[in-house]
Structure 1
Amino acid sequence: MRYGKIYYGALGLAAVLLLIGLVMDGPLAIWTGLGKIVTTENALITDYIQLAGPGAAFANAAIVVLITAALYRLSGDPLNGSSLVGLGLMAGFSLFGKNFLNIWPILLGTWLYARSRKEPFAKYISVSLLATALAPMVSYIALDNGFGNLFSGIVVGIVIGFIMPPLCAYTFRIQNGMNLYNVGFACGLLAMLFVPVMTALGADPTLNYHWAEGYNVLFGGLLGAACVGFVLAGLFLCHRPPWAAWAGYRRLLKTSGRAPSDYLRMFGMGPVLINMGINGLIGLAFLLLLGGDLNGPTLGGLFTIMGFSAFGKHAGNIIPVMAGVTAGGFFFQGGMESGSLQLAVLFCTAMAPIAGYFGWQYGVLAGFLHSVVVLSTGSPVAGMNLYNNGFSAGLIAIVLYPTIIAIARHRKAVIQEEDYFDTFEHDEPQLPAPKHGELSEEREGS
């Protein structure tokens, strides 16, 4: 494989996470903490660092990263930018909501979907991994003695995994590539159906708030060093001159980031590593300057930004949206002390394509709206969708897109009919080519 070294990177990431866990807590504390993690319902916001200790949290993340790498390998998935997205999200959310047990029913459901269509699981592996955003629903049903049991939790997880591929294919189209967290939006829609049904059957899911504090110096130093290391690796360790890697990064900054934008295939590993490091530093700086906390959820947000640095995010399109959330936080809430707002300033970068395609001012507007919308979208689904910001971003993108093109820009974005790699490697749907005599969508919109 052209990017087979990603596997070694995943193994290295897992080793570093496990080492951090062992340094911070002993093996016995880690074992006890892992038991607590897998027997907790995990609805938002359940910070594993606060719940079970940093050792268990990082050990859980290491195990999940190994599972993710193994699934990519066994499925035969041709690695690309979305593979780095999957690794980043699985590592990050394993610090607050996903664990090495509650993800399996959803993964099994998507595998069964692929089997039912007689298609390779590799075609759906990315959707399968990201669909584990609904893993808290599996945990809740499996562990809540007043409502469900282990068997029903597994069945619901399988159903979720089976439904997600066709649902994600549909939601991708209606968002016009303006929300990078397409699976998060689809998970939010599905949770909006499942949670009311569960409630009608007697369930009583409630939001959680486990939020660790006091780790800013330690985690900030480790993550900052890692980001600098990514930049240096992109400049000097990718078999191309530093000036060429930097030139590639400057070209990357000129893209809109509209999905699908596989930066790994477009620009190569060097510029992508530089982008990951710089984006991580930007997210870290925003969080610390706003007085935020570095813990499981916020580290998950930073890992997500770095993962999507291979698939749509860069400094030019994330800063306006983050600035918009910051402005909204101070305008509506009087500050950014809320944990939900701290997460919003990181995960709002799902709407980076709005800033990249329409201009920075529309990115600020999207972030401003996100700062209030995201505070209301978690309650209807009782925290069962870990990608709550992706759900909120999808709602905003669906409203803003037609509004902007109709009133302000008169410019209609077109979902690409061909991506930068072939259909088998592509994890998102593609539109059929227009029939003879039909106007293309781009021409109709001009």
Structure 2
Amino acid sequence: MKTDSTSNNTLIKKFCLGSGLFLLAASVASAPFSGGLTGLIEGWKNILITPCPLITDYFGVGGVAGTFFNAAVCSLSCLLFTHLCHGRTNASFLAAYMLLIAHCFYGMNFINIWPCYIGVIIYYCYKKKDFREHLHIAMFSMAFGPLVSEMLFRYTLGSAYVQGEVHITPAGILLTLAVGLAAGLALPGMLEGALWMHKGYNLYNGGLAFGLVGGLLYAFLYKSLGRQSEGPTAPNFPFYDGIGESNWLFANVFFILLFGGTLLCGWVLNGKSFKGYKKLTEETGHWSNFSEKYGMPLCLINFGVYGFMVLAYMNLIMLLSDGVAFTGPTVGAIFAAMTFAAIGQHPKNTWSIFAGYGALSLFVTIFCSLRGEAVPWTLSTQGYINGVAFATGLAPMAGRYSWKVGIAAGIISASLCTSTAAVHGGFMLFNGGFTAGITALILVPILEHHFPHMKVKGE
């Protein structure tokens, strides 16, 4: 069934606005636990001036209130710009908006998102194309936020850099502008090329494209020039409690309200029913657009149901294994897992990928125990929390080839997820999508060889 695109786009705008305002409300609600208004402002300032390669916990840099405020300001600013220039808001825009929010908890901030964003707009203007149709690509380009911060605040200073102090050099400004221009020129074309490489089996298409571009930039700026990457900065916010109980409670209440409210809105807009949702979950997710085929009310229902599944998984692994809890990157990972709830993800085609992570964890635990060695990681280790959130981008593979392939994809992705950041030095935030892209490059040729009848006509 074909839905009204105007109605869909209006609902997407309202959902994005509601999400941004909810983040703002969360920053106000958490301010008393983060040093009040003064702590919120000071925390946000720390976030703005701190280099942030993977994985920098913004809760540790600027506190919970400052981090939620950062997410609110960045997301609402992008939405305001889109509104003022009459930009296109569709399911792809919603996906980019969700990723923007996700990474505002560990790597994006109000300063480092704009150079690449503007670079992409300049590219489309140069190509004489309407940039308003491609604002989602400009938002995806913000994945290079950590590289922008690095060039602006630390790269040209070297060993003279002191955390918390700002010394901006003319060379740093020039490098920042150069990174934005380089991203704007390279990324739109790379996105099309990456889509051809994995044939639509990795929903986080930008991850593969940006990972390759990030690898080139990192190799040139650091390896070729003999520079040393300093890595993430240490948490220094006085009210940071890491994996404390207050963050667990606050994060769960926040997401229960968010997913519950979204589910309720979808149910009401769908005629106070779940009619059609079962059919949506029978979609493979391959070249799918749920919002166009089923309408945004059912997508909102999917967002809520799928969101509760992801939240349940996060709480379960925290309960059963030692690692982190609701740090900034963990909260961001939950948002990241929701990115394509209107395009290709739903509980039925993602559960097997989570199971794949669990299967590898069980194997590693048994293997290390038999050898009398310490288990090197658990499902609640930060890298694996963020890895599984992006591994859900392989949902079309599980949906089209079966849950068994989904488990295999999860195992391969989990094996790779903490190694791929070395390619781009941690300066590209879509590392999980990059890992999912590599997983697809490994699996797709094998699957098409053994199941030639499953190949899509025209490929």
The TM-score with structure 1 as length reference comes to: 0.88
Give 1:281's match in structure 2, choosing from 308, 314, 335. 308
Is 1:266 the counterpart of 2:313? The answer is no
Letter in 2 for 1:181: Y
2:263 maps to which residue? 231
For 2:271 and 2:146, the matched residues in 1 are separated by 46
Deviation, structure 1 residue 277: 0.5
Letter in 2 for 1:192: G
Is 1:188 the counterpart of 2:211? The answer is yes
Moved more, 291-300 or 70-79: 70-79
CA contact (8 A) 1:75 1:121 kept: no
1:358 maps to which residue? 401
CA contact (8 A) 2:290 2:343 kept: yes
Q: Deviations over 1:235-286 (max 9, x none)?
A: 11x1x4233xx22211111111113x22111111221011001111111111
Is 1:410 the counterpart of 2:441? The answer is no
CA contact (8 A) 2:12 2:91 kept: no
2:369 maps to which residue? none
Deviation, structure 1 residue 68: 2.0
Alignment of structure 1 residues 232-311 onto 2, 5 Å: 232-236=264-268, 238=269, 240-243=270-273, 246-259=274-287, 261-291=288-318, 293-311=325-343
For 1:38 and 1:28, the matched residues in 2 are separated by 15
For 1:374 and 1:263, the matched residues in 2 are separated by 28
For 2:234 and 2:199, the matched residues in 1 are separated by 35
Letter in 2 for 1:354: M
Give 2:431's match in structure 1, choosing from 384, 388, 393. 388
1:347 maps to which residue? 390
Q: Deviations over 1:285-323 (max 9, x none)?
A: 111101151222121121122231011100011100111
For 1:413 and 1:89, the matched residues in 2 are separated by 30
1:73 maps to which residue? 83
Letter in 1 for 2:208: F
1:320 maps to which residue? 352
Secondary structure in 1 matching 2:341? helix
For 1:164 and 1:46, the matched residues in 2 are separated by 24
Secondary structure in 2 matching 1:379? helix
For 1:296 and 1:413, the matched residues in 2 are separated by 40
CA contact (8 A) 2:88 2:133 kept: no
1:104 maps to which residue? 114
Deviation, structure 1 residue 372: 1.2
Q: Runs of 5+ in structure 2 lacking a partner?
A: 1-5, 159-170, 236-241, 319-323, 366-374
2:146 maps to which residue? 136
CA contact (8 A) 1:206 1:383 kept: no
Deviation, structure 1 residue 331: 2.2
Letter in 2 for 1:252: L
C-alpha spacing 1:389/1:116, structure 2 compared with 1 (3 Å): same
Deviation, structure 1 residue 8: 3.0
2:371 maps to which residue? none
1:23 maps to which residue? 29
Secondary structure in 1 matching 2:422? coil
CA contact (8 A) 1:135 1:157 kept: no
2:239 maps to which residue? none
1:433 maps to which residue? none
Deviation, structure 1 residue 210: 6.2
Is 1:10 the counterpart of 2:34? The answer is no
1:421 maps to which residue? none
1:422 maps to which residue? none
2:51 maps to which residue? 41
Deviation, structure 1 residue 10: 2.5
For 1:36 and 1:158, the matched residues in 2 are separated by 26
Q: Tell me how many residue pairs correspond in the alignment.
A: 411
Moved more, 124-133 or 177-186: 124-133
2:168 maps to which residue? none
For 1:332 and 1:393, the matched residues in 2 are separated by 21
Give 1:168's match in structure 2, choosing from 169, 175, 191. 191
For 1:210 and 1:325, the matched residues in 2 are separated by 28
Q: Runs of 5+ in structure 1 lacking a partner?
A: 415-439
Letter in 2 for 1:70: L
C-alpha spacing 1:156/1:78, structure 2 compared with 1 (3 Å): closer
CA contact (8 A) 2:215 2:425 kept: no
2:458 maps to which residue? 441
For 2:206 and 2:234, the matched residues in 1 are separated by 25
Deviation, structure 1 residue 39: 1.0
Secondary structure in 2 matching 1:126? helix
CA contact (8 A) 1:318 1:349 kept: yes
For 2:351 and 2:181, the matched residues in 1 are separated by 38
For 2:24 and 2:174, the matched residues in 1 are separated by 31
Q: Deviations over 1:120-149 (max 9, x none)?
A: 002321111011111111110111133551
Is 1:146 the counterpart of 2:157? The answer is yes
Letter in 1 for 2:157: G
Letter in 2 for 1:375: T
CA contact (8 A) 1:185 1:392 kept: yes
For 1:321 and 1:368, the matched residues in 2 are separated by 8
For 1:389 and 1:305, the matched residues in 2 are separated by 10
For 1:308 and 1:189, the matched residues in 2 are separated by 22
1:213 maps to which residue? 243
CA contact (8 A) 1:276 1:309 kept: yes
Letter in 1 for 2:458: E
Alignment of structure 1 residues 53-92 onto 2, 5 Å: 53-92=63-102
Q: Deviations over 1:303-357 (max 9, x none)?
A: 1222310111000111001110122133236432421012122221011111011
Deviation, structure 1 residue 207: 3.4
For 1:254 and 1:399, the matched residues in 2 are separated by 26
Letter in 1 for 2:200: G
> How many percent identity over aligned positions?
28
